[in-house]
Structure 1
Amino acid sequence: MKRTTFLLVCGVALSFCQAQSETTDEETGAEEEHVELFTTPTTKMGAATSDFGYNLFRILASRDTTTNVFLAPISVSAVLTHLSLGGSERAQSQLFRALRYHTLQDPQLHNTLKDLLASVKVPGKGLSTAARIYLARRLRLKQDFFTLVEQQYGVRPKALMGGTKDMKDINDWVTQETGGKVQNFLTKALPRNSGLNAVSAAYFKGKWVTRFGESGVLENFQVEGGSPVRMPMMKQDNYPVKMGADSDLSCTIAQILLQDDVSMFIFLPDEVTSNMTLLEESLTAEFVQDLSMTLLPAQVSFTLPTLRFSYFTDLLPLLGDLGLSEWLDDPDLEKISAQPTKLGSVNHKVVMEMAPEGNQYPSATSPPSHLSLRVDRPFLYLIRDEASGALLLIGRVVNPKDLSI
Structure 2
Amino acid sequence: MRAAEGAETRGVSGEEDSLSEQAETLIDVEKRAERMKRTTFLLLFGVVLSFCDAQSETGGEEAAGEEEHVELFTTPTTKMGAATSDFGYNLFRALASRDASTNVFLSPLSVSEALTQLSMGGSEHAQRQLYRALRYHTLQDPQLHNTLKDMLASVRTAGKGLSTAARLYLARRLRLKQEFFGLVEQQYGVRPKALLGGSKDVKEINDWVSQQTGKKVQRFLTKPLPRAAGISVVSAAYFKGKWTTRFAQSGGLENFQVDGAAPVHVPMMQQDNYPVKMGVDSDLGCTITQIQMQDDVSMFIFLPEDVTSNMTLLEESLTSEFVQDLSMTLLPAKVSITLPVLKLSYSTDLLPLLGDLGLSEWLDNPELEKISTQAAKLISVNHKVTMETAPEGNQYPSDTTPSHLTYRVDRPFLYLIRDETSGALLFIGRVVNPKSLSI
TM-score (norm 2): 0.86
Q: Which runs of 5+ in 1 are unaligned?
A: 23-31
Cα deviation per residue 1:100-150 (whole Å; 9 max; x = unaligned)? 000000000000000000000000000000000000000110011000000
Provide the residue aligned with 2:378 in structure 1.
343
- Aligned residue in 1 for 2:270: 235
Cα shift at 1:216:
5.5
Cα separation, 1, equivalents of 2:262 and 2:50: 28
Deviation at 1:7, TM superposition (A): 3.5
| Aligned partner of 1:395 among 426, 429, 432 | 429
> Contact between 1:5 and 1:372, CA under 8 Å: does it hold in 2?
no
Q: 1:340 corresponds to which letter in structure 2?
A: A
- Cα separation, 1, equivalents of 2:152 and 2:244: 23
RMSD: 2.1
Which of 192, 204, 209 is the equivalent residue of 1:157? 192
| Inter-partner Cα distance in structure 2 for 1:206 and 1:385 | 11
CA distance 1:216–1:43, change in 2 (3 Å): farther
Measure the CA separation in 1 of the matches of 2:130 and 2:50. Answer: 42
- In the alignment, does 2:335 pair up with 1:294? no
Q: Is the 8 A contact 1:5 1:370 kept in 2?
A: no
Q: CA deviation at 1:162?
A: 1.6
Change (3 A) 1:59 1:241: same
Once the two structures are superposed, the pairs formed by residues 29-108 of structure 1 within 5 Å of their partners are 33-108=68-143
DSSP 3-state at the match of 1:83: helix
* 2-structure distance, mates of 1:400, 1:343: 33
What is the deviation of 1:215? 4.2
Alpha-carbon distance, 1:161 to partner: 1.9
> Secondary structure at the residue paired with 2:422?
coil
Q: Following TM superposition, by how much is the alpha carbon of 1:57 offset from its aligned partner in structure 2, in angstroms?
A: 0.2
SS in 1 for 2:375: coil
Contact kept in structure 2, 1:10 and 1:245, CA below 8 Å = no
Instruction: State the match for 2:230 in structure 1.
Output: 195
Alpha-carbon offset, residue 55 of structure 1? 0.4
1:34 CA displacement: 3.3
Secondary structure of the 1:222 match is strand
Q: 1:6 to 1:35 in 2, by over 3 A?
A: closer
- How much identity, in percent, do the aligned residues show? 78
Partner SS, residue 119 of structure 1: helix
Q: How many matched pairs?
A: 388
In structure 2, what is the Cα distance between the partners aligned to 1:68 and 1:6?
34
Deviations along 1:236-291, whole A, 9 cap, x unmatched? Answer: 11111000000000000000000000000000000000000000000000000010
- 1:175–1:181 Cα contact (<8 Å) kept: yes
CA-CA distance at 1:368 after TM superposition: 2.4
Aligned equivalents of 1:347 and 1:121: distance in 2?
Answer: 21
Contact 1:217 1:234 in 2 (8 A): no
Q: Does 1:382 align with 2:416?
A: yes
Flag the 1:48–1:5 CA change in 2: closer, same or farther, 3 A.
closer
CA shift for structure 1 position 370? 1.2
Aligned residue number for residue 8 of structure 1: 49
> Which residue number in structure 2 is paired with residue 25 of structure 1?
none
2:154 to 113, 119, 128: 119
Which structure 2 segments of 5+ residues have no match? 1-44
In the superposition, relative to structure 1, how do residues 194 and 225 fare at CA in structure 2: closer, same or farther (>3 Å)?
farther
- TM-superposed CA distance for 1:401, in Å, is 1.6
What letter corresponds to residue 384 of structure 1 in structure 2?
R
Of 357, 381, 392, 2:392 maps to 357
- SS of residue matched to 1:49: helix
Query: Is the 8 Å Cα contact of residues 219 and 233 (structure 1) preserved in structure 2?
Result: yes
Find 1:225's aligned residue among 227, 239, 260.
260
Change (3 A) 1:119 1:293: same
Runs of 4+ in 1 over 4 A off after TM superposition: 9-12
Q: Give the CA deviation at 1:354.
A: 0.6
Q: Which has the higher helix share?
A: 2
Secondary structure at the counterpart of residue 81 of structure 1: helix
Q: Determine if the alignment matches structure 1 residue 247 to structure 2 residue 282.
A: yes
Counterpart of 2:216? 181
Q: Is the 8 A contact 2:272 2:401 kept in 1?
A: no
* Cα pair 1:210 1:362 within 8 Å, conserved: yes
Tell me which residue corresponds to 1:206.
Answer: 241
The 1-side partners of 2:51 and 2:114 are apart by 43
- The one-letter amino acid of 1:392's match is L
Report SS of the residue matched to 2:398: coil
Match of 1:167 among 202, 208, 233: 202
User: Which residue identity lines up with residue 120 of structure 1 in the other structure?
Assistant: V
Distance 1:214 1:390 in 2: 29
